[in-house]
Amino acid sequence: MAFVKHIGKHGDRKVAIIFRQVPDEEHMALVTYTESLPKHFHDAIIQVIESAPGQEATSLSDPLHRNLLPDGRPILETLHREGMIKKVQTNQIVVTPNASSHVRLDELNEIMNDMESGGEAVEKMARLDEEAGLQTKKRDRTAENTPSRAPVVEPVQADETTALSDEDIAKAQLDQAKAMEAQAAQLLAESKNLTKEAYKLDPSLKPKRTVRKKATAKKKAAPKKATAKRATAKKATAESTGTEAPATE
């Protein structure tokens, strides 16, 4: 069954998860309700989500920022300007990558953050994948055994969401930019290490340095023509005054 990132549910409403976490408010996420969008918005966003860049992106905001609506407007900016992005608590969002997999967004964020920090979350993610479709059943059985325990996800009404402010999206974009910078620095370091290893394996591939020869200063020859002109001028002056012209060196 196909696995699709960045989609989930908030209560009984389908959402596209644009930012998994809001900076300084890790318990909040930014989403858009896909079924409430105009058709041209909905189709453009779904196309971005299902594309290869969309599935490779850690945050859906990145490909949405780069892609345009049919009328030429940037998708992410237009969603924000039109008030179509909402701030929702992560524990109220259920990520549904396919029909049989369900995991709460706050739990997924914890795993993803652990993976980025080099923790043991890879095994947790593998277990989640193996147990796809069993998560909801396990929680249901636990709830039956403990009636006083509240359900894992409680449906909430749309008016309980918080409207997105310019500050929210600015913070989210800065957080994303920092993550991209860190990733770029890591890739650059890996590139340098690979280059060094390649040169060790085959030193002939290493570019040879070209030594530039310093240009030697040329001695300026005495301008013979200027000396001759001065001698002629002195001789003419001496003849006109009746004096003897001094000997030239």
At 106 the pLDDT is 94
> Where do the domains of the chain lie?
7-196
For the chain, strand residue ranges (E) read: 7-10, 13-19, 28-33, 86-89, 93-98, 101-104, 162-163
- Burial of residue 219 (number of CB atoms within 10 Å: 0-12, 13-18, 19+): exposed
At 159 the pLDDT is 39
At 188 the pLDDT is 76
Closest CA to 98 of 17, 33, 19, 6: 6
At 186 the pLDDT is 66
Blockwise average pLDDT, block size 10, the chain, 249 residues: 87 95 91 95 96 93 94 93 94 90 91 73 58 44 39 38 61 66 69 75 77 58 59 66 54
At 99 the pLDDT is 81
Encode burial over 2-28: b for 16+ CB neighbours within 10 A, e otherwise: eeebbbbbbbebbbbbbbbbbbeeeeb
At 152 the pLDDT is 38
Quote the pTM value: 0.52
